[in-house]
Structure 1
């Protein structure tokens, strides 16, 4: 169980679309809007987990044509987000918008986030630790994942808010945007490599 918890921690804390966008929403819109967005991400990641555990994801991805369409749609959107972050200019921001993405934005991001599917597939199909009952193991995994997921995402939200309050020099803010965009593009490239 400790190995599973460690895997959850390291798989979730690494930069991906969810945590990077959380930091960006915090930087651009503050704590209240960021908390709503994290709520959407939370719902979305648990829906992805349920789709993986139930076999729905496997059933949908069994059709090569549908898998290809979904893959390119998610990769295109994530690349678009990465470019928007990279070209946000001298302000640390997820994307320049008038309104925060909200709960629905968080749900949608997780629904198309290849990292969410890869992480949940790895966590729920591997790391067996309760051979007596698969149902108990899955329930425990949901509890452990969420107990680690929530504070990590709020830490990234706090980081985004803190970065914005620090009023960093223009050059430093540009570097942060480029690092965030590069991290997101790394997820896109890893997903593309895994697809082949």
Structure 2
């Protein structure tokens, strides 16, 4: 594959990965609430979950979904339910920071599953594959996925680091509680968008 295709693929991957979405908001929240290492575990799960989804869509999953509208609706409602659950957890968080408390932190599997329930991930995969690969060409899909993986990981990690930066300068529980509630409201807004779409 030529450099003339690699650069646009990389630019697309960066724009799709770093722009705000449900996973990015959870990354930001993880950075404000938990140890940096916990946030990066979530990022790794989200990145690998996205790459698995990307490859599956590249191999025809998206086409199969169009044939089975019931499955599409089921995934949409599962995504909405999962986002509502995450919104609830953010909204009820008390804003207290305890370095040793990692059992509630979203982990690797949460990140991986969240991408499969994330409409932004489906859209980014389908539109990227449609724009930059021809048909079901596995080699092109794998090259695109290999470009996407580090870009996605670094983009999501930047949201965790932004949260850690906020945490360093905003230590008062009331402020963190307010930030978490704003993030919860944004996640709920994305649910409303999904329901109305």
Deviation, structure 1 residue 167: 2.9
Match of 1:19 among 20, 24, 42: 24
CA RMSD of aligned residues (A): 2.8
Cα distance in 1 between the residues matched to 2:72 and 2:150 = 31
**Mean Cα displacement is larger for which, 141-150 or 55-64?**
55-64
Task: Report SS of the residue matched to 2:111.
Answer: helix
Going from structure 1 to structure 2, the CA distance change for 1:101 and 1:172 (only over 3 Å counts) comes to closer
Match of 1:160 among 163, 172, 180: 163
Going from structure 1 to structure 2, the CA distance change for 1:99 and 1:79 (only over 3 Å counts) comes to closer
Deviation, structure 1 residue 90: 4.3
Cα distance in 1 between the residues matched to 2:186 and 2:144 = 27
Q: Any idea what the Cα deviations from partners look like across 1:153-181, whole Å, max 9, x if unmatched?
A: 11111122222222344554344224322
Cα distance in 2 between the residues matched to 1:157 and 1:59 = 34
Which runs of no fewer than 5 residues in structure 2 stay unpaired? none
The TM-score, its normalising length taken from structure 2, stands at 0.79
Counterparts of residues 15-54 of structure 1 (less than 5 Å)? 15-54=20-59
Cα distance in 1 between the residues matched to 2:10 and 2:44 = 22
Going from structure 1 to structure 2, the CA distance change for 1:117 and 1:139 (only over 3 Å counts) comes to same
Task: Report SS of the residue matched to 1:189.
Answer: helix
Retained in 2: the 8 A contact 1:15–1:183? no
Match of 2:142 among 139, 145, 150: 139
Which runs of no fewer than 5 residues in structure 1 stay unpaired? none
Deviation, structure 1 residue 48: 1.0
Cα distance in 2 between the residues matched to 1:89 and 1:61 = 42
Counterparts of residues 91-110 of structure 1 (less than 5 Å)? 98-110=103-115
The TM-score, its normalising length taken from structure 1, stands at 0.80
Retained in 1: the 8 A contact 2:29–2:180? no
Retained in 1: the 8 A contact 2:34–2:102? no
